Structure 1
Amino acid sequence: MSKKTKIMRKNVLLITLMLLITALAGFSNESNLSFVRKASFYNSDKKKQSKNLDTIKKSDTLKVVDSLANIKTKFYKKNVEASHYSDKLNGRRTASGQVFSNKKYTAAHKTLKFGTKVKVTNIANNKSVIVTINDRGPYTRSREIDIAKRPFLDISHNKGKTPLRVILEIVEK
């Protein structure tokens, strides 16, 4: 092999490596997501903005302690697996367009409509939470529902290890 061929190969490898590093940096979680999030929350009309934020806060939080005994539910599925979202998904958009947070009482389901409230009861200790469907998933065959981390830990009996066996009931209005 000639000296020129060796130098050309080294240059091609270096360029390929630099392109790969650039591509990987472009896929990182930190890239320009904060700009997109900030831009999506700003509204030129201040009254509309505060009204929209109030409705978001009211719909995402639910006083579970007082209302679990008094709600009407319709049985959906029994003895299915539930898991929780990864922390790396915080701040990303869900399929419904909302920004995901592991602190909110939200969940992902393959077929239920967005906005559907679901009572999730752990079979092992009979603890329950009510979550709102705002995403699609889980994409694992055996799992029925993905829950945000806070509600998952509220009903967990094994220090948050997944999966849990749960009963799903749809909350009727």
Structure 2
Amino acid sequence: MDVNKIPDATPTVHTGNYKANPYTVLGKTYYPMQDSRNYRAEGTASWYGTKFHGQNTANGELYDLYGMSAAHKTLPLPAYVRVTNLANGRSVILRVNDRGPFYSDRIIDLSYAAAKKLGYAEIGTAHVRVEGIDPQQWWAQRGQTPPMVLKEPQVAQTQAIPASTGRVEQWT
């Protein structure tokens, strides 16, 4: 599969609750941020793939190794980030929908497709810059209105139709 044909994630305004509750992994407690818009960090990125493909992420979505997603220890879920490989200048926009990586020297885990697009899937890690994206601002810079994601599914209002009391013809 040519991952360069996979589009980056599209930042979407989220109107529901963010998953930002404290949690503990391997004896360490993490306190997620409430807002990712001003987030900026540089450090080591890794990627996760086949073992997790099809498994639930921390916010309940299915992990797709060909999706443009990421795991982060403290960004709210969901969040959107631009990740730039500092060795080659390539960058991608990702939806953060999972927790990790739980190695002390790594700041973000990317999907296989994202790591491949950034040019480090074969070597496993890369030195990257991670920048939070404000979906409202991202769309405004493009002169467009952002699509909205509803916090609850909307159910269409229906009206019951009374059952027919008439005779039903049978076809033979």
Choose between structure 1 and 2 for higher RCO, CA contacts under 8 A separated by at least 6 residues: 2
After superposition, give the CA deviation of every residue in 1:111-145 in whole Å (9 maximum; x if it has no partner): 00111100000000000001111111101110110
SS of aligned partner of 2:75: coil
Cα distance in 2 between the residues matched to 1:113 and 1:161: 28
Q: How does 1:22-101 map to 2 (within 5 A)?
A: 63-64=7-8, 74=38, 76-78=40-42, 80-101=43-64
Cα distance in 2 between the residues matched to 1:63 and 1:154: 10
Could you say which residue in structure 1 is the equivalent of 2:96? 133
Change beyond 3 A, Cα 1:116–1:122: same
Change beyond 3 A, Cα 1:159–1:111: closer
Could you say which residue in structure 2 is the equivalent of 1:164? 126
SS of aligned partner of 1:168: strand
In the TM superposition, structure 1's runs of 4+ consecutive aligned residues that sit over 3 Å from their partners are 62-65
SS of aligned partner of 1:146: strand
Q: How does 1:6-21 map to 2 (within 5 A)?
A: none
SS of aligned partner of 1:165: strand
Task: Please tell me the residue identity of whatever aligns with 2:45.
Answer: A
Query: Following TM superposition, by how much is the alpha carbon of 1:172 offset from its aligned partner in structure 2, in angstroms?
Result: 1.5
Cα distance in 2 between the residues matched to 1:120 and 1:75: 12
Query: Following TM superposition, by how much is the alpha carbon of 1:64 offset from its aligned partner in structure 2, in angstroms?
Result: 4.0
Query: Following TM superposition, by how much is the alpha carbon of 1:63 offset from its aligned partner in structure 2, in angstroms?
Result: 4.3
Runs of 5+ consecutive residues of structure 2 not aligned to the other structure? 1-5, 12-36, 136-172
SS of aligned partner of 2:81: strand
SS of aligned partner of 1:84: strand
Q: How does 1:92-131 map to 2 (within 5 A)?
A: 92-131=55-94
Change beyond 3 A, Cα 1:171–1:140: same
Larger Rg: 1
TM-score by length of 1: 0.55
RMSD: 2.2
Task: Please tell me the residue identity of whatever aligns with 2:124.
Answer: T
TM-score by length of 2: 0.56
Task: Please tell me the residue identity of whatever aligns with 2:109.
Answer: D
Cα distance in 1 between the residues matched to 2:40 and 2:104: 18
Task: Please tell me the residue identity of whatever aligns with 2:130.
Answer: L
Q: Give aligned-pair identity as a percent.
A: 32
